[in-house]
Amino acid sequence: MTCDTHDVLIIGSGGAGLSLALKLADHSLTVAVLSKFALTAGSTYYAQGGISAVFDAEDSIESHIEDTLNAGAGLCDPEIVRLAVTYGKNSINWLREQGVVFTEETVTTGGTKLHLTREGGHSHRRVVHAADATGKAVSLSLIDRAKEHSNITLFEHHNVVELITVEAGSSTKKAVGAYVLDSTKQQVKTLSARVVVLATGGASKVYLYSTNPQSATGDGIALAWRAGCRVSNMEFMQFHPTCLYHPNAGSFLITEAVRGEGGKLVLPDGSPFMQHFDPRGELAPRDIVARAIDHEIKKRGIDCVYLDISHKSADFIKEHFPNIYEQCLKFDIDITKQPIPVVPAAHYTCGGVMTDSYARTDIANLYAVGEVASTGLHGANRMASNSLLECLVFADRASEDILKRLADIPAPPAIRDWDESKVSNSDEEVVVSHNWDELRRFMWDYVGIVRTDKRLDRAMHRVDLLKQEIAEYYGNFRVTSDLLELRNLVIVAELIIRCAKLRKESRGLHYTLDYPDTDDSKPPQNSILTPE
C-alpha cells in the first residue's frame, strides 16, 4: 500500500485543528486533516456558550487574567494566561473573517456591536457568542473554508491507530506520520508528514455521564503517552454543573450562560441553595457549583436539581437560548414556564499532553493544540469559555512556529505498511462493549466529583485488569474504531488515577475526602507523569 505524504498531518477537525489547517494552507503548505467520525462530530460543534475575549470598555486584559488565575486555583501559568487573553480580540476578528456570524446588539448611538454575555468565574461580560450554538457556527464556517481550500485534504471516518516516530538523536524522537484506520473500508493506511499535530479534544467519555460527543475518548493523550510524551494535571477533570436530566435526552448541555443571564439553581421545592456554598451563587466557578449540586443530590436522595429562568420573559428566553428552548420542548419542558431538571456531567479535560507556548510537545515535530494539550492556561479548573479561546490562540502559535521551522525539517523517511498478517477478525465484540461499559462506570463511581484514596485504589485495580484484557485482544484481532477508543480510554483512566493519587490535597477540580483542604504550606505543583 502506498504512503500518502503531506507537509502537515493534523489529527482532529474541531476548532483547533481546522484553524491551524487554514492558517498553514494559506501559506501554500499541503495539509491533511483527519476526523474520527464526521467533520461535525467533535466537541467544538456542540459548544454552546461562547468565546471569552475583552471587548467591553469597562473590562480589561488584567481583569480577564485575574479571573482566569482565580479559577485555576494557583496552578495556571501566568505568562500563558497573559498570552492567551491578549490574543482574544484578534482571535474573534479572525473568526469573523472566516465567516462566523456572532450575535450583535443595537447601540443607542446607532449601529450594532457584539453582544457579550457573562458566565461563571467572569467578573465582566466578555463572552462573545452566536446565540446558544457558538460552536456550531464556528465549526460550520471553518469546515466550509477548509472544503474550499485546495491545499487541505479532509479525511472523515479516519481513526489513528498509532503515531509513527523515528530516532532523532541519541535520546530523542521525532514524529513522521501515523497509522490510520479508514473505518469505511476497515483498512489501515499509512500517512506521513514532516509535522504531526494532535488536535483530538478531551477525554470526558471516560466517565459514564458526559456532556461530550462520543468522539471525546482521549485519543491524542493516549497516542502521545505511548509515543513518549509527558502528560500533566490529568486529575483535573471538569464536571459541568448543568446537564439536562431526562432518560431520553442523552448528554445535552445547558449552557452556563443561562445562569449568566439570571437563571437560578433550586431544589425540587423551588428553594435556592447556591448561596449556602459561595457568595457568588450561581456564578461561582464550575467546580464549586458542580460539587454543590452533587452534595444536594446525595444529601437529599433526589435525582436532580433544577435550573429556573422562567422569571425572564418568553421573548428574552427564546432570543437568547433558542437551541435549548427547542431541545427541552422535545421532552415536554417549556423553559419559559418550567425549571429545567439538571445534574453534573463530565465536561472538560484540563490536563493533557504537556506543551510549551508554541504548542510543541516532548517529541520533535509533534504539536498538540486545544483540549488535548496541557498549556498552563487552565490550571486546576478551566474558566468558562476559555476553551475555544485556547484552541484559536495556540493554533495561531503553532502555525507561527511551524511556518518558521518547516524549511529545515526534512521529508519523512520511507515507512513500512501496517502489518496485520498475524491477526484475525474478532468473533467476540461483546468483550469490547463490556469493558467499555465497566471502565466508564467505575470511573464515575470512584474517580468522579468526590474522591477518596480507597476509591482510587479500587479504580486502579480494575484498570490493571482491563489493560491486560485489552492488550491481549488488541494483539490478536484486527483493529476496529471501538477497540482503538477502548485502548485509549483505559490509558486515560490510568493517567487520571495516577495524577489523582499524587495530589495529597483538594484543589480546584480535584476534591478528596481524605485531604479536604488545600495545602498552602508550599507552592502548588503540577502533577507530571513521564512514560517509562
What confidence score (pLDDT) does residue 1 get? 56
Where in the chain do CATH 1.20.58.100 domains reside? 430-517
The Cα 301–Cα 362 span in angstroms is: 47
Where in the chain do CATH 3.50.50.60 domains reside? 4-51+131-235+350-408
The mean of the pLDDT values for the chain is: 94
pTM over 0.75: yes
Q: Which amino acid is at 302?
A: I
> pLDDT (tens digit, 9 = 90+) per residue, 371-416?
999 999 999 999 989 999 999 999 999 999 999 999 999 999 999 9
Q: In which residue are the cell numbers 422535545 written?
A: 330
The Cα 289–Cα 275 span in angstroms is: 10
Count of C-beta atoms within a 10 Å radius of residue 91: 22
Residue 286 a catalytic site member: yes
The Cα 196–Cα 133 span in angstroms is: 30
Where in the chain do CATH 3.90.700.10 domains reside? 240-347
Task: With residue 388 as reference, give the H or E element that holds it.
Answer: helix 387-405
Give pLDDT < 70 ranges for the chain.
1-2, 427-428
- Check 118, 286, 291, 462 and give the catalytic one: 286
What confidence score (pLDDT) does residue 44 get? 96
Q: Are strands 187-198 and 173-182 parallel, antiparallel or unpaired?
A: antiparallel
CATH of 430-517, one of 1.10.3720.10, 2.40.40.20, 1.20.58.100, 3.30.559.10: 1.20.58.100
Burial 9-30 (b: 16+ CB within 10 A, else e): bbbbbbbbbbbbbbbbbeeebb
Find the helix packing angle between 481-502 and 453-476, rounded to 10°.
Answer: 150
Q: What is the CATH number of domain 4-51+131-235+350-408?
A: 3.50.50.60
What confidence score (pLDDT) does residue 29 get? 96
Query: 240-347: which CATH architecture?
Result: Alpha-Beta Complex (3.90)
> With helix as H, strand as E and coil as C, how does 88-139 read?
HHHHHHHHHHCCCCCCEEECCCCCEEECEECCCCCCCCCEECCCCCHHHHHH
- Which grid cell is 435? 469493558
The neighbouring-strand residues paired with 190 are 179
